[in-house]
Amino acid sequence: MKVAVTLFALLVAAPCAAQDVAAGEVLYKQKCAACHQPTGKGVKGAFPALAGDALVLGDPALLSRMLLVGKGGMPTFKRLMTDQQIADVLSFVRSSFGNSAAPVLPDVVAAMRATLPASGGPTGPLGN
């Protein structure tokens, strides 16, 4: 099943840029590691562990939504990351810290982004 999913993922990913787990690792350090920790173990009571987390390992669309929209202390990355970057970092997280789930495709992120309201609020990328 997993092989099939992976194959399917590769096929679907082919037309657009494939997710880049190495790039995802760099992004993880920049955007995620401060809270979820370099180990992916999080901080109890504040930042959820990503290792073995149901949301992390589950539906890529719902996982993408968490990055795009945020919740509580988890900021929105809607304006801060491209679909490709979100796919990269999620693919890294899903294959690290003992996790072993299929990569997330940029198309999945794009599709989720398209369902969100047009205005994402007053956040904006400050890193360029």
Partner 1 sequence: MEQQESGTSRRAFLERLGAVGGTAMVMAAMDAWHVPTASAATAPPALTGAGKGKTIVILGAGHAGQVAAFELNKLGYRCIVLEARGFAGGRVQTARRGFTATELGGETQRCDFDPGEYLNIGPWRIPFHHRSTLHYTKQFGVPLETMVNDNDAAWMQHNDGSGALKGKRVRQYEVKTDLRGRVNELIAKAATSGQLDQQVRAEDRELFLDYLASSGRLKKDLAYRGSDLRGYVKPPGAGDQPGTIDDPYGLSDLLQSHLWRDFQVGEYTHPLTMFQPVGGMDQIAKAFEKRNAPMLRFNCEVQQIRQTDKAVTVNYVDTKTGKTASVTGDFCLCTIPLSVLRSIDTPFSDDFRAAMDDATYVPVGKIGLQMKRRFWEEDDGIYGGHVKLDHPAIRQISLPSNNFQGQKGTLLGAYLLFDGATEVSAMSLKERIDYALAAGEAVFPGSYRANFERGFSWFWHLAKYNLGGWANWTAEARKDSYPKLLNADGRIYLAGEHLSYLGGWQAGAIESAWQQIEKIHQRAQQA
* Beta carbon of residue 107, minimum distance to partner 1 (angstroms, whole number): 13
Two structure tokens written together for 4: 């099939």
119 binds partner 1 (CB under 8 A): yes
Two structure tokens written together for 19: 């997710």
Two structure tokens written together for 57: 């390992």
Two structure tokens written together for 20: 């880049």
* Beta carbon of residue 6, minimum distance to partner 1 (angstroms, whole number): 26
98 binds partner 1 (CB under 8 A): no
Of these, 18, 23, 33, 57, which contacts partner 1 (CB under 8 A)?
A: 33
The C-alpha angle with vertex 58 and arms to 32 and 121, in degrees rounded to 5, equals 50
C-alpha–C-alpha distance, residues 7 and 16, integer Å: 15
Instruction: Indicate the residue among 2 and 44 with the shorter CB distance to partner 1.
Output: 44
17 binds partner 1 (CB under 8 A): no
Amino acid present at 11 = L
Sites of contact with partner 1 (CB under 8 A): 29-35, 37-38, 43, 45-47, 69-77, 79-83, 113, 116-128
